[in-house]
């Protein structure tokens, strides 16, 4: 299945182009472009942005489409799928497409100019556009008989069996109360800090934020729960993506520094490599979770099949016992008649 990741950057595309085109990662036939010259992509991006006077802010969006290690796909086929994805999802934008084959999972990198060459509008990196990319990726994978991403699993809400029983009685679970309140807060605030202040001031809901997560404490029940347990759209990452225009920048403007101890490698270079490695780790984790999920689903199906077979055997034995009892009664009746 093709896992999709997306980030945005305010840095010049020169760094990412240099990183993506390393010889140990790809080859010339796996480097292409949509509405741009892959050999001159940095100038093409810059010219479009200068033409419309939009040289500030986010310079490009970086999409990674990573195929499952279990998929029987060649780098060439993956590259074709990447170019099709670029054509269908970024019609008015220049896209640099590179396929990497240096990992167990073959993956595409799509670098999208943030400014449209048709009308100068900025690309809208919303949740909807991200899910549109994922759905289109699924469609292309399904056409090629590749594994598809289970989009339903990343549900807006994660309802437990206990919650479902409460809802079946016509009551609202405390977790769902939290979800409804959080939805109100996210609509009326602009960043994570004001979001937390809004919850505490208006609903007496305490929040706790760590490096990777956020938790909420229900005022009546006194129970704290992590956002991810309520659903993916309630976790810290999704909230920050929403408040920050959906995606974080890889680099800060003008980010420079001293050497890391590697000749010719600046802080900016090392930061890019660190972020790229982090994305690779996330993708590996997603592939592993998807495999575990598939195994769990298969196990559930197998258990259900065994239960159904057991029920059928039990019903068969019951019918056989009934037949024996009837035949025994008939024989007894026959003996009585003969007497």
Q: What is the DSSP string of 269-335?
A: HHHHHHHHHHHHHHHHHHHHHHHHHHHHHHHHHHHHHHHHHHHHHHHHHHHHHHHHHHHHHHHHHHH
Domain harbouring 23, CATH code: 3.30.930.30
Instruction: Give mean pLDDT, residues 33-49.
Output: 96
User: CA quadruple 247, 248, 254, 258: dihedral positive or negative?
Assistant: negative
Report angle CA 302, 104, 251 to the nearest 5 degrees. Answer: 115
More confident residue, 116 or 276: 116
Q: At what angle do helices 41-51 and 13-20 cross, to 10 degrees?
A: 160
Q: In what order do the strands lie in the sheet with 214-217?
A: 206-209, 214-217, 224-226
Give the domain-ending residue among 118, 149, 180.
149
At residue 7, the pLDDT reads 81
Q: Mark whether 10 and 135 lie in a shared domain.
A: yes
| CA–CA distance, 219 with 159 (Å, rounded to integer) | 20
Give the domain-ending residue among 126, 149, 172.
149
Which tokens sit at 271? 């930061």
At residue 249, the pLDDT reads 36
How many distinct structural domains can be found in the chain? 3
| CA–CA distance, 273 with 25 (Å, rounded to integer) | 13
Q: Which of 75-79, 162-166, 255-259 has the lowest mean pLDDT?
A: 255-259
Instruction: Give mean pLDDT, residues 105-113.
Output: 93
Of 281, 291, 246, the C-alpha closest to 153 is 291
More confident residue, 332 or 3: 3
Q: Mark whether 65 and 14 lie in a shared domain.
A: yes
Range of the domain at 169: 161-242
**Is residue 71 in some structural domain?**
yes
Which tokens sit at 264? 């010719």
Q: What is the mean pLDDT of the chain?
A: 78
**Is residue 33 in some structural domain?**
yes
Q: Mark whether 171 and 283 lie in a shared domain.
A: no
Q: Mark whether 309 and 201 lie in a shared domain.
A: no
> How deeply is 81 buried, as exposed, middle or buried, from its count of CB atoms within 10 A (0-12, 13-18, 19+)?
buried
Q: Which of 76-90, 166-180, 246-260 has the lowest mean pLDDT?
A: 246-260
Residues 6+ apart with CB under 8 A from 215: 207, 208, 224, 225, 226, 227
**Is residue 36 in some structural domain?**
yes
**Is residue 250 in some structural domain?**
no
**Is residue 264 in some structural domain?**
no
At residue 161, the pLDDT reads 57
User: Do the Cβ atoms of 134 and 154 come closer than 8 Å?
Assistant: no
Q: What is the CA radius of gyration of the chain?
A: 28
Instruction: Give mean pLDDT, residues 171-190.
Output: 79
Q: Mark whether 7 and 41 lie in a shared domain.
A: yes
Which tokens sit at 39? 């050999």
Q: For the segment 219-246, what is each residue's pLDDT rounded down to a tens digit?
A: 777 778 888 888 877 888 888 877 775 4
Instruction: Give mean pLDDT, residues 126-148.
Output: 87
Backbone conformation region of residue 120, classed left if phi is above 0, alpha if psi is from -120 to 50, else beta: left
**Is residue 309 in some structural domain?**
yes
Q: Mark whether 214 and 322 lie in a shared domain.
A: no
Grade residue 154 by pLDDT with cuts at 50, 70 and 90.
very low
């Amino acid at each position: 299945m093709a896992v999709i990741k997306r980030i945005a950057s305010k840095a010049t595309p020169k760094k990412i182009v240099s990183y993506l085109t390393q010889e140990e990662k790809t080859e010339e036939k796996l480097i292409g472009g949509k509405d741009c010259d892959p050999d001159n992509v940095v100038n093409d991006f810059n010219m479009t942005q200068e033409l419309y006077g939009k040289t500030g802010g986010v310079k490009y969006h970086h999409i990674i489409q990573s195929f499952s290690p279990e998929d029987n796909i060649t780098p060439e086929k993956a590259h074709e799928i990447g170019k099709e994805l670029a054509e269908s999802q970024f019609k008015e934008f220049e896209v640099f497409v590179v396929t990497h084959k240096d990992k167990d999972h073959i993956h595409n990198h799509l670098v999208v100019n943030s400014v449209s060459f048709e009308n100068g509008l900025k690309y809208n990196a919303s949740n909807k556009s991200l899910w549109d990319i994922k759905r289109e990726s699924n469609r292309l994978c399904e056409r090629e008989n590749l594994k598809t991403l289970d989009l339903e699993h990343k549900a807006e809400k994660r309802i437990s069996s206990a919650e479902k029983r409460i809802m079946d009685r016509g009551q609202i679970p405390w977790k769902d109360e939290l979800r409804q309140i959080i939805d109100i807060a996210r609509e009326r605030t602009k960043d994570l800090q004001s979001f937390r202040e809004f919850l505490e001031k208006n609903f007496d809901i305490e929040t706790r934020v760590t490096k990777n997560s956020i938790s909420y404490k229900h005022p009546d029940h006194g129970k704290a729960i992590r956002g991810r347990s309520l659903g993916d759209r309630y976790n810290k990452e999704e909230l920050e993506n929403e408040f920050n225009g959906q995606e974080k920048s890889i680099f800060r403007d003008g980010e420079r520094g001293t050497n890391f101890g590697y000749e010719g490698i600046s802080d900016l270079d090392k930061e890019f490599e660190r972020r790229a490695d982090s994305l690779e780790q996330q993708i590996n984790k997603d592939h592993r979770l998807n495999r575990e999920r598939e195994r769990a689903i298969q196990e559930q199906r197998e258990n259900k099949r065994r239960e159904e077979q057991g029920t059928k055997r039990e019903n068969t034995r019951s019918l056989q016992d009934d037949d024996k009892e009837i035949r025994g009664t008939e024989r007894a009746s026959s003996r009585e008649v003969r007497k």
